Chains A and B, each alone.
Chain A
Amino acid sequence: MAEVLVLVDHLDGEIKKSTFELLTAARALGEPSAVVVGPAGSAGKLSEGLKAHGAAKIYVAETDSSDFLTPQVSVLASLVESKDPAAVLIGVSADGKEIAGRLAIRTNSALLGDVVGVSPEGATHSVFGGAFIAEAKANTAHPVITLRPGSVEVEQADGAGAEETVEVPAASGRSATVQSREPVTGGDRPELTEASVIVSGGRGVGSAEQFSVVEGLADSLGAAVGASRAAVDSGFYPHQFQVGQTGKTVSPQLYIALGISGAIQHRAGMQTSKTIIAVNKDPEAPIFEIADFGVVGDLFKVAPQLQEEVTKRKS
């Protein structure tokens, strides 16, 4: 069976959930080979998890280079050349997209970006915030595919996980140099793109302090917290929680929008959610056009009451 290269996204010895989604998706195309690029000693802690999700091989490239993303691109490019894989799968993130694009240039491969599903025939895109579904196929060997997190249900599978060391080839062009790095460490709440429930706040929340109303409801539901761009721009909540056109695309089981008008750019990031609840003072707010259940009212009255009901039911 053909090999499928999967780039492992890892931080401090932990594998990101999106990598398990890639390993699951890869099995539809062939036999997954995990590719680990990182500082010396990174692979050891990752191999159990990779094997448990079906990695037949684990390629390990250790490097302490401060070249930005170039080691990942060069290692994948050399593996594409030596192994002639059926495809290369990379998770959608800022880094993932950049690695994928540069790799496709280096290896003369098709780039199927931001897909929500893969099959031997090609890949499925969800465009304009889910307003269109499109099928695409690659016209080259070893296409590079980036998969949107949360689009595939993770399934475990036994993989042999045979480790093989690979050299990091010398860079072919000039690279940016990493001077420092501060990763965002997720708090206790689930990741936005992984959460099955999201509670989001908009400008209507009014201030950073008052976002505690959004957080309180989220915590009672075990949910992630999201925000509209207006809320982020007003400094109520950090940028990485922005949902929408220029923020994250999410598709949870349940999305609760508090004080969000439902501008088209916000909807583009959340309208494929299974169930949408909206609370807004304005009965004409466009968010109600897509809400399965809407309450015209003050979020500061409705959200705490809902939180109380949820907590009551749990005990």
Chain B
Amino acid sequence: MNIVVLVKQVPDTYSERKLSSGDHTLDRDATDAVLDEINERAIESALQLKEGDGAGDSTVTVVAMGPDRATDAIRKALSMGADKAVHLSDEALHGSCAIQTSKALAKVIGTLGEVDLVLAGNEASDGRTGAIPAMVADVLGLPSLTHARELTVDGATVTVRRETDDGVTVLTAELPAVVSVNEKINEPRYPSFKGIMAAKKKPVTTLTLADAGIDASEVGLANATSTVTSSQPKPPKSGGEKVTDEGDGGQKIAAFLVGQKLI
């Protein structure tokens, strides 16, 4: 199987995240960047499929669109065990909207020949668009099976147990298809030392827009389908009163709530 995993480098959720005051895009310099945790799970799924593939001829290709430093996220994915990577990186991509991003990712996938399965995270932790995988599927005319908690491939049929806040839906489709995974699907493996060393030698192809057949007018802040016109930090909430329980903690909360007219 030819498996593609879409990965995104995001600001570490453990650090304070900011919007830049100039163009209101994500201020990538303000924060540490990491491979999004959900994408580690997508890679784990891909590796499990590869390892379980009797024919033993599966490849896992990582695809990322993002600035130069996204190579760190790509290396992490390769050190977990992915075979190779394609990085779409071009100044002109800065500020692209979800529509532009999904069309660009579809173009990159199009350069990879016959792809059987595209894996992605269900939702990135920076934007919470939560729709790129389904949008990519739509651009490619492929079925989208999103929010997978379980994923099986049997011959040319993919089955997904889709688990969301609204319930469980079992979905099937014929390959090729796009699948996004949720955070309960697996526990991603840690890269081994061997894996980290091997990753240094794995091929990473960097594509410019032209390489991927994308016109500059199809991407970027100036051509985005939506524009952020202003942004403001909200003052963080500050702590109020803190008391130590001396056998009357519950009563003290009750008194506070009464004072606030909440009970």
Q: Is the CB of A303 within 8 A of B250?
A: yes
Interface string of B146-174 (1 = CB under 8 A from A): 11000000000001100111111111111
Q: Is the CB of B138 within 8 A of A111?
A: no
Q: Any chain B CB within 8 A of the CB of A182? A: yes
Q: Any chain B CB within 8 A of the CB of A302? A: yes
Residues on A with C-beta less than 8 A from B232 are 132-134
Q: Any chain A CB within 8 A of the CB of B134? A: yes
Shortest CB-to-CB span from B130 to chain A, Å, is: 5
Q: State whether A98 and B253 are in contact (beta carbons under 8 Å apart), knowing that A133-B231, A264-B14 are contacts in the complex.
A: no
Q: Which applies to chain B's interface (DSSP): helix, strand, loop or mixed?
A: mixed
Q: Any chain B CB within 8 A of the CB of A230? A: no
> Looking across the interface, which residue of chain B has its beta carbon closest to that of A293?
B256
Q: State whether A105 and B139 are in contact (beta carbons under 8 Å apart), knowing that A111-B99, A179-B172, A302-B249 are contacts in the complex.
A: yes
Q: Is the CB of B245 within 8 A of A173?
A: no
Q: Is the CB of B260 within 8 A of A297?
A: no
Q: Which of B74-82, B85-93, B233-241 contacts A (4 or more CB under 8 A)?
A: B233-241
Question: Complex: how many Å from CA A55 to CA B218?
Answer: 37
Q: State whether A106 and B138 are in contact (beta carbons under 8 Å apart), knowing that A294-B241, A295-B252 are contacts in the complex.
A: yes
Interface string of A164-188 (1 = CB under 8 A from B): 0000000011111111111110000
Q: State whether A139 and B238 are in contact (beta carbons under 8 Å apart), knowing that A113-B129, A304-B250 are contacts in the complex.
A: no
Residues on B with C-beta less than 8 A from A94 are 122, 130, 146-147, 164-166
Which residues, 1 to 46 on B, are CB-close (under 8 Å) to A?
A: 13-14, 16-19, 24, 38
Q: Any chain B CB within 8 A of the CB of A203? A: no
Q: Is the CB of B134 within 8 A of A177?
A: no
Q: State whether A302 and B245 are in contact (beta carbons under 8 Å apart), knowing that A132-B233, A135-B228, A135-B229 are contacts in the complex.
A: yes
Q: Any chain A CB within 8 A of the CB of B257? A: yes
Q: Any chain A CB within 8 A of the CB of B262? A: yes
Interface string of B105-127 (1 = CB under 8 A from A): 00000000000000000110101
Q: State whether A134 and B230 are in contact (beta carbons under 8 Å apart), knowing that A176-B171, A277-B253 are contacts in the complex.
A: yes
Residues on B with C-beta less than 8 A from A308 are 250
Q: Is the CB of A102 within 8 A of B134?
A: yes
Residues on B with C-beta less than 8 A from A184 are 165-167
Residues on A with C-beta less than 8 A from B16 are 131
Q: State whether A283 and B171 are in contact (beta carbons under 8 Å apart), knowing that A94-B146, A136-B229, A293-B253 are contacts in the complex.
A: no
Question: Complex: how many Å from CA A296 to CA B252?
Answer: 12
Interface size class of B (residues with CB under 8 A): 35 or more
Q: Is the CB of A302 within 8 A of B250?
A: yes
Question: Complex: how many Å from CA A135 to CA B230?
Answer: 5
Shortest CB-to-CB span from A11 to chain B, Å, is: 8
Question: Complex: how many Å from CA A184 to CA B129?
Answer: 23
Residues on A with C-beta less than 8 A from B144 are 68, 98, 102, 176
Q: Which of B52-60, B62-70, B198-206, B219-227 contacts A (4 or more CB under 8 A)?
A: B219-227
Question: Complex: how many Å from CA A263 to CA B77?
Answer: 26
Q: Is the CB of B253 within 8 A of A181?
A: no
Q: State whether A181 and B13 are in contact (beta carbons under 8 Å apart), knowing that A98-B146, A136-B226, A137-B229 are contacts in the complex.
A: no
Q: Is the CB of B128 within 8 A of A114?
A: yes
Residues on B with C-beta less than 8 A from A176 are 143-145, 160, 171-173, 177
Residues on B with C-beta less than 8 A from A110 are 97, 99, 225-226
Q: Any chain B CB within 8 A of the CB of A65? A: no
Q: Is the CB of A139 within 8 A of B226?
A: yes
Residues on B with C-beta less than 8 A from A268 are 13
Tell me which of B171, B240, B248, B256 contacts A68 (CB under 8 A): B171
Q: Is the CB of B142 within 8 A of A174?
A: yes
Q: Any chain A CB within 8 A of the CB of B251? A: yes
Q: Is the CB of A93 within 8 A of B142?
A: no
Q: Is the CB of A183 within 8 A of B166?
A: yes
Tell me which of B147, B169, B239, B245 contacts A181 (CB under 8 A): B169
Q: Any chain A CB within 8 A of the CB of B194? A: no
Interface string of A188-210 (1 = CB under 8 A from B): 00000000010000000000000
Q: Is the CB of A289 within 8 A of B24?
A: no
Q: Any chain B CB within 8 A of the CB of A151? A: no
Residues on A with C-beta less than 8 A from B172 are 176-177, 179
Q: Any chain A CB within 8 A of the CB of B210? A: no
Residues on B with C-beta less than 8 A from A97 are 129-131, 134
Q: Is the CB of A139 within 8 A of B169?
A: no
Q: State whether A133 and B226 are in contact (beta carbons under 8 Å apart), knowing that A114-B128, A184-B166, A297-B244 are contacts in the complex.
A: no
Interface string of A271-315 (1 = CB under 8 A from B): 100011101000100001111111111100111111111100100
Q: State whether A297 and B19 are in contact (beta carbons under 8 Å apart), knowing that A105-B99, A110-B225 are contacts in the complex.
A: no
Q: Known contacts A181-B167, A253-B262; can you find 8 more A-B pairs with CB under 8 A?
A: A68-B171, A94-B122, A94-B147, A98-B146, A113-B130, A136-B227, A174-B142, A301-B249
Interface pairs (14), CB distance under 8 Å: A93-B165, A94-B146, A105-B139, A113-B128, A113-B130, A114-B129, A130-B234, A131-B233, A137-B226, A183-B167, A290-B236, A292-B241, A296-B243, A302-B250
The list of the 5 closest CB pairs from A to B, nearest first, reads A305-B250, A297-B245, A101-B131, A173-B141, A309-B254
